[in-house]
Structure 1
Amino acid sequence: MVSSNRLVLRDLATPPSLLNLLCSTGDTLTRLILHLTPLSLLASLPPGQFHALQSLVYCRPSGRNWRHTSGEPVVAFQDAPSLRRVALDATFPFTSGRNAPSFVLPWNQLTHFLDFDAVSESTLLFTPHFLSQSTYLQWLDLKLGGDDMNGNDFSHGVWERPPGPDFMVMNSVTTLALGFPSSMAYTGMFDKVDFPSVRALRLRAEEACWQRYGESQSRFLTKLQTFKKVEFLSLWVPRIDNGELESLFETAPRAHTLHLFTHGLYTRVFQILEAKPELLPHLHTLVLDYNESGVRDSIEFTYLANSFRRLLEARTSNAHPTSCIRRIVVWSRDRALEREFEGVIRRFVESDGIVFGWRLSERRENMSEAMWMEMDPTSNGWEEARVTLDLIEA
């Protein structure tokens, strides 16, 4: 499908169809989405075809046939002078018995990279291969694999080693999103690279459960505390206890925007922030998402509303010495909730000038990655990557 200067290719079976389509649009194409296109077909494309390309998104075929049997990397985009944004779910296909990257890319000019590879344990490989070249990278979203978390085996003593000569400091990265394979914990990537300039931090995991990891919890929290410039904190962690929530909030004392994806957390978060004014002391914006599961009944909403009201009372009209909630944004597919929320905060809008924004989202359930990109202000309209994530997570 061709739309203006954007091309979407899906389920291509033969090289001629791929070559003809790309060769006819390559000079003017600025955005390219390759969905379910075998890597072996892309490997047949020569370089030098994509002078105007700015954004590339690749989603491999599902199942066993996705593997790149030839072992040759895709070189068609290695010299694309305008390429800035890349999203891949096949960073390392592990072909021919070696950990070879699937795509040869101009890493030294990329500003945005999204790795949503759920098969390869790619992050430990990605770090030494590419980050050292990515001097202009600003936005980094990595899906961690099980091997990326192997550093949690302290019998190897990896945490006792000081940073080696290959340790990297990525001053250019201002947005960092990490998707954990299950539990949120320390990742070996932190032994190889530091991100001191991160301002927007997103953490996605099924659970925290730090009591099972002990030292890993301490290492993880200590590492988060080095992100001293975080102003935008986004959390998607369905199973997390109050102590773990408080520990996360303590690592982001400068955060002014809190972004929550799981509605089951909201009441507890509101209660914690009301009771402990020292947490998130500069909070002024709350972004809430009700797409994964709506409020189930009036009793539940009443309980939530009361907690929300008490939080606003504690953090508006100079009640808090430094935190004053000024903006609330709610994303939902349920228009009925808009009236409910307006009822809760109406007096705060009238008396304290709170800005209330309602965003109608058409996202389906369990689409947190796509919704994160839809809501993240630093994604800067990277629409094609978000659309691809919709297709994958559907």
Structure 2
Amino acid sequence: MSTSPIHNVPNDVLGEIFSLCLPPDDSEIRLCSSTAPLSLTHVCSRWRQVGSQLPGLWKCLRWEIQTANVSEETGKALANVVARARSTPHRNLQLLIQNRAWFKDTEPSNPLPDIAIALFMPPISSLTRLALKCVPVVQIHALPKGFFPSIVDLALHLEVSDLYHFPWAQKGPVGAFSDAQALRRVSLGSSVPMNGHHQDRPLASPNVLLPWEQLTHFLDFEPPLTHFPSHYTEQCRDLRYLLVKLHEEDVGPSAYLNWAHSGWHNTVLGTLQCVTLNFWSAGREIDFPAFFDFFDVPNLTALRLDGRGFDFGDVAITWPHLLVERFLTQLSGLRHLRYLSLRLSSIAPDTLRRVLQATPHVTTLDAFIQDNYNSFFEGLVWSVTSQVLPRLDTLVLELDHSVAIQEEEGDTIDPDAFQAFLESRLGDGGHNSLRKIIAYSSDEQEMDGGVPFVEVALEYVSRGLIFERKLVKEYQSSLLWMRRDTEVNDWPELASVC
């Protein structure tokens, strides 16, 4: 039998071919038998030998597995694969365990085998990026200090049942990352309790020791800030980026007293540049946040408001006149604010107008209004009397998940309102500051040249408008803001654990 021509290909050339089989995005390299790099080692013994000896194939891995499939054998297999690139610089590892939840008053009858020790013993000194989702707390807690000397980015999502059942009082907090001298960016969160309540649960934040004084980015997907140890923020000397998930205790007329009773006092975060306030756990609509009452952020350049409806006049929400004025005063005090992101189900026209008038220095407006951008572009129309966003240079639009798309009826963006907005900015006698519009979608048809609002935009290209259409993968669409946020868009693993 003649030898296959592939056997005549030199090992180095074969290795280059293998490398080209990997996804261009390192975070998408999965440890799966049907995709590269693992599938390449199943073709023949020579391919297995060559592939196993190429550290570059294995330095970035995403292992996603259901709880029922976790065993000592799978853990050992993962450890063996990870070991193939143990000394390779700039390692990236994602370990994501799905469907671990059980009820608060029951403990698992079959604890998972110890995957963490198998993976990190001996320590992977070259590991720079790590994402762990629902790895048992008992396993993470057993990891000693000194195991992660090079880690820069850590995304840690803990299982809520672990938080309930782990003996924190006896064993103390997780200390594995407390001496990680290179650590700069951390995302920390946990799953939602079965009963939907957080008041009686232990929290991840105070039970994971971090080198706060050196962190530059912290994304807190934990319960209310009234439960968050305030002294941590006082240690953050270099914090540039902060995301916090607000809850009912953090918003509304009683929020100030809630925070004050929890021991908070005014803290100056002079290095903080970017803040995301996530209101999705704070009730039905966006309400007054106590955040700016307790944090002084004199150098803030970017602000994102992420939540449901936003309406100062909604009778279902307590927005007293004094709180409205206080919030708008706080916004207008952000003198360095250049980037404003509004990710909302809907926003009332008067509320939009007042928010934009309070932020006149904004040059980039990033928006997703699920309710088909209702009244949005009308609020952006430039006029001598309103003078909304006089320095607006770039408008970023997100097109997925609109009401029109969900109901398969109507337009995500009303072309007439869109044209009126463009004419006020780019037409004869317009303000003429707008330079670029960027539209994002996971559906190419939503950005096709035949879409009415796209046709309108293309008409203004000849007048100097830069119109960019960016197609993204469908599974990324719900977290599109992360992919276009310049501070975290190089950290795609975040979407795996949020």
Where on the TM-score scale, by shorter chain, does this alignment land: which range?
Answer: 0.7 to 0.9
2:319 pairs, out of 188, 192, 213, with 213
Say which of 126, 129, 134 aligns to 1:36: 134
Compared CA separation, residues 197 and 103, structure 1 to 2 (3 A):
same
Equivalent residue in structure 1 for 2:164, among 34, 57, 67: 67
Question: Alignment partner for residue 338 of structure 2, among 225, 231, 239?
Answer: 231
Instruction: Check 1:99–1:286 CA distance in 2 against 1; reply closer, same or farther (3 A cut).
Output: closer
Matches within 5 A, 1:88-237: 88-90=188-190, 101-117=206-222, 120-121=223-224, 123-126=225-228, 128-149=230-251, 152-153=253-254, 166-180=265-279, 181-182=282-283, 183-211=285-313, 212-214=318-320, 215-237=322-344
Shift of 1:334: 2.2
Percent identity between matched residues is: 28
Paired residue type of 1:40: V
Contact in 1 for aligned 2:255/2:290 (Cα 8 Å): no
Distance 1:289 1:97, change over 3 A: closer
Counterpart Cα distance in 2 of 1:38 and 1:18: 9
Q: Distance in 2 between matches of 1:378 and 1:157?
A: 31
Comparing 283-292 with 271-280, greater Cα deviation is found at: 271-280
In 1: Cα distance, 2:219 partner to 2:380 partner: 32
Distance 1:275 1:23, change over 3 A: same
Aligned residue type for 1:379? V
In structure 2, distance between residues paired with 1:141 and 1:154? 18
Q: Identify which range, 45-54 or 3-12, moves more after superposition.
A: 3-12
Gap regions ≥5 residues in structure 2: 1-30, 32-57, 61-90, 101-110, 192-197
Q: Residue 372 of structure 1: CA displacement?
A: 1.2
| Aligned positions of 1:1-394 closer than 5 A | 3-4=59-60, 5-11=91-97, 13-14=111-112, 16-61=114-159, 64-67=161-164, 69-71=166-168, 72-90=172-190, 101-117=206-222, 120-121=223-224, 123-126=225-228, 128-149=230-251, 152-153=253-254, 166-180=265-279, 181-182=282-283, 183-211=285-313, 212-214=318-320, 215-264=322-371, 266-274=373-381, 276=383, 277-293=386-402, 295-296=404-405, 300-301=410-411, 304-316=414-426, 319-321=429-431, 323-338=432-447, 339=449, 340=451, 341-350=453-462, 352-364=463-475, 367=478, 370-389=479-498
Structure 1: state its 5+ residue gaps: 390-394
The ranges of structure 1 where at least 4 consecutive aligned residues each deviate by more than 6 angstroms after the TM superposition are 93-100
Change in CA separation of 1:156 and 1:137 when aligned onto 2, cut-off 3 Å: closer
CA distance in 1: counterparts of 2:164 and 2:240, whole angstroms = 30
Secondary structure of residue in 2 paired with 1:266: coil
Look up the SS of the partner of 2:460 in the other structure.
helix
> How has the CA–CA distance of structure 1 residues 7 and 223 changed in structure 2, closer, same or farther, with 3 Å as cutoff?
same
| Distance of aligned partners of 1:219 and 1:38 in 2 relative to their CA distance in 1, 3 Å threshold | farther
Q: 1:142-161: CA deviations, max 9, x gaps?
A: 10122222x613896999xx
* Conserved 8 A contact 2:137-2:162: no
Q: Which whole-Å deviations, capped at 9, do the CAs of 1:263-321 have from their partners, x for residues lacking one?
A: 42525121122264511111121111111126459983397111111211110156334
Asked whether the equivalents of residues 124 and 189 of structure 1 are also in contact (C-alpha less than 8 Å), the reply is no
CA distance in 2, matches of 1:6, 1:360: 25
Moved more, 211-220 or 168-177: 211-220
Q: Distance in 1 between matches of 2:413 and 2:186?
A: 43
1:38 Cα shift? 2.2
Alignment-mate amino acid for residue 57 of structure 1: A
Aligned pair count reads: 377
Name the amino acid aligned to 1:196: P
Q: What is the distance in 1 between the residues matched to 2:371 and 2:379?
A: 14
Report the CA distance shift for 1:336/1:265 in structure 2 as closer, same or farther (over 3 A). Answer: closer
Which whole-Å CA distance do the structure 1 matches of 2:242 and 2:203 have between them? 25
CA distance in 2 between counterparts of 1:293 and 1:190 reads: 30
SS in structure 1 of the partner of residue 303 of structure 2: strand
For the pair shown, which has the larger CA radius of gyration, 1 or 2? 2
Does 328-337 or 205-214 show the bigger shift?
205-214
Distance in 2 (alpha carbons) for counterparts of 1:17 and 1:142: 30
Q: Is the Cα–Cα contact under 8 Å of residues 127 and 192 in structure 1 kept in the other structure?
A: no
CA contact (8 A) 2:255 2:289 kept: no
Counterpart-to-counterpart distance in 2, 1:96 and 1:383: 29
- Equivalent position amino acid for 2:344 in 1: V
Q: Aligned equivalents of 2:142 and 2:327: distance in 1?
A: 43
- Give the direction of change, closer, same or farther, for the CA distance of 1:203–1:302 in structure 2 (3 Å limit): closer
Q: TM-score of the superposition, structure 1-length normalised?
A: 0.85
The letter for the 2-side match of 1:385 is: L
Looking at structure 1, the residues matched to 114 and 258 of structure 2 have their Cα atoms a distance apart, in angstroms, of 53
CA 1:313–1:165 in 2, change beyond 3 Å: closer, same or farther? closer
Provide the C-alpha distance between the structure 1 equivalents of 2:459 and 2:347, rounded to a whole number of angstroms.
32
1:298-349 C-alpha deviation (Å, 9 max, x unpaired): 983397111111211110156334x522111111122123212442122211
Name 1:392's counterpart in structure 2: none
Q: Is the 8 A contact 1:127 1:189 kept in 2?
A: no
Q: Is the 8 A contact 2:309 2:346 kept in 1?
A: yes
